[in-house]
A and B are shown apart, each in its own frame.
Chain A
């Protein structure tokens, strides 16, 4: 979901930025020039159309999901995808999703939460500690660490899944929650982001002032640095939460026991029921389950959006 939600945010922002820039008559305050004035009231048709297309591209699947979640299994087969069918079965679907197969969906939801809290939470904590240290302290080998982190950002997690599986298999950790949590703790991008953010957000003078006032390193970190790092922290937390929440491939190869499945794998298992002999076909529950799965993510985005934006922009302008 991360890939669909974030373009929406940026796209609509740029659209609204353009709209306000256009209506407020900003150019009057500037020296009138014929060409290349940023924020000129002229609307770019091409950009508007492009933004519109991207909006449709990202919103239509979501719309389909919401509409389809209101249909029963029969309704799904009988009606067109982008409009409601005669029966409205959303509430039935939701209660059936939670009760199907002795309420396994709830178990999967709790598993996902566990992986997110420990995995994404842990990854964020490590990124803060590491980023702060790398930004504010000098030590031998810092350049090497930098190279390794930048290199690690470039390696997709999927490529590491197989070697990780082999390693975990030797350690006897496969098919346990640790097999999902431990790899999730590593977020090179999060570390890099915190590093850059900490460099900009914490003035070295402030740290020196704290030290002169007699604060120890730990106190300086917790009472001076950490509050300043809040926007970056939220940004990294959102990143890692989305990554862990949507993680499919890692748990797929690590876990066999359905009692430890996250939602992604569980929904996939339900979807696969339709492909087996005598299997119970429950596309309606797969769809409703998917909708329920993305709601917490959407909520997290809406609630933390302010921090997310200020976090991303930090360090982009030299003051």
Chain B
């Protein structure tokens, strides 16, 4: 059902893009290269003059941030619209951009979708507002995702260095050691499932985000992007590490065929049938609200390594606040984004459970020493911060990653439900992505 809807929505996005494209041709040719620098004084003047900023973002902590911001600048009204997320959010954003109507002044965009909007000139370069000087504040992974050469397409809001969340109660009960490598992970999966056939090491019914993150950690770099030249290749030796390991989990039915974020999934996390969850450092907030009944059962551990002793980590999820090119009140919009993601808003958001993308906060003692009651008093941020420091920054997503992710289940997903091998699934994902890229006018190899 969800997939049908999103497919329909994609159709709509495409259609409206086509229909509006014709009318839009004559109009806006002004290039962003001619943009002038905006000084701090200009922004201050705009804040004093006042106005309103429409923000499309589902990040829950922004509610408090917007209220604080309005208190600080009473003449500015922040109109926060957060009822849509994921596919529906991007469809609405793309629709508004192609229709040139109702475009928000600020939009949340996940890192994997950044280059898609940046490349199609959907987003304003915020470097002239002074964003380029903030580079040192952020961890490399997120900064790499929002910047391209000298342009900066948004400020990182949060980050998702990955960790392995595991249900300590289950591991203790069956006296299984917490895995530190992926080989040990497969062993642990076998032992747990043998001890209790209802227990699975994790839930995975095919998830593009998880697969790309694990490839990232394994050292595979399937996507190479240079302007409009794109290379897609899932056949390197490092990708094989991932497919070999994961194929075992699938073949031996050690992963539960449950889609993430569904009620079944939350239920499994709560009742001990899902023993681990490899996820981003933002996960604790979801544990606390969604899996209340398992409070105290779970702990965080570093991600298992692909080769023993290797510390390489990876990112999953995370997003930036951007300024869509067709939005209005740029000065005010940028002022809000900076306040939320680099200024006072960061502390507010951490307090409410968000995981920062700024190095100062990640190295802050109070942050590192925070004891998570949910994780039995564990100082989980130490693990997350260490993971953040070990993320390789040379990963890139496709400039049409959102589309590629949407066809993941039609290609790689087959490996989960039929005899198709995972490597073959990746190959057909590669082929389908290349085909789409060419249709979109990219030079794809």
* Residues of A bordering B, CB below 8 Å: 73-74, 76-78, 158, 161-162, 165-166, 169, 172, 174-175, 249, 252-253, 256-258, 261, 265-266, 269, 272, 274-281, 283
Q: A172-B101, A274-B262, A278-B59 are in contact. List 18 more A-B contacts (CB 8 A).
A: A74-B270, A76-B267, A77-B291, A78-B293, A174-B102, A257-B81, A258-B81, A272-B86, A272-B88, A274-B263, A274-B290, A277-B354, A278-B60, A278-B61, A278-B353, A279-B58, A281-B289, A281-B290
CB of B195 closer than 8 Å to a CB of A: no
Across-interface contacts of B270 in A (CB, < 8 A): 74, 77-78
Are B158 and A274 within 8 A (Cβ)? no
Across-interface contacts of A253 in B (CB, < 8 A): 9, 12
A283/B11 contact (C-beta < 8 A), A258-B83, A275-B86 known: no
Across the two chains, which residue of chain A brings its CB closest to B110? A277
* Residues of B bordering A, CB below 8 Å: 5, 8-9, 11-12, 15-16, 19-20, 58-61, 81, 83-86, 88, 92, 96, 99, 101-102, 158, 160, 261-263, 266-267, 270-271, 280, 282, 285-286, 289-293, 317-319, 352-354
Binding site secondary structure of chain A? helix
Q: Can you list 19 contacts pairing A with B, beta carbon distance less than 8 Å?
A: A78-B271, A166-B15, A169-B16, A172-B101, A174-B102, A256-B81, A258-B83, A269-B84, A272-B84, A272-B88, A276-B58, A276-B86, A277-B160, A278-B352, A279-B289, A280-B289, A281-B289, A281-B290, A283-B263
With the chains together, A272 CA to B59 CA distance in Å? 12
Are A162 and B293 within 8 A (Cβ)? no
Across the two chains, which residue of chain A brings its CB closest to B61? A278
Across-interface contacts of A249 in B (CB, < 8 A): 5, 8
Q: How far is the CB of A139 from chain B (nearest CB, A)?
A: 37
Across-interface contacts of B293 in A (CB, < 8 A): 74, 77-78
Across-interface contacts of A280 in B (CB, < 8 A): 60, 289
Across the two chains, which residue of chain B brings its CB closest to A265? B83
Across the two chains, which residue of chain B brings its CB closest to A73? B292
A279/B99 contact (C-beta < 8 A), A77-B293, A256-B92 known: no
> Top 7 nearest A-B pairs by Cβ distance?
A281-B290, A278-B285, A275-B261, A258-B83, A269-B83, A77-B270, A74-B293
Selected contact of B282 from candidates A161, A165, A277, CB within 8 Å: A277
Across-interface contacts of A266 in B (CB, < 8 A): 83
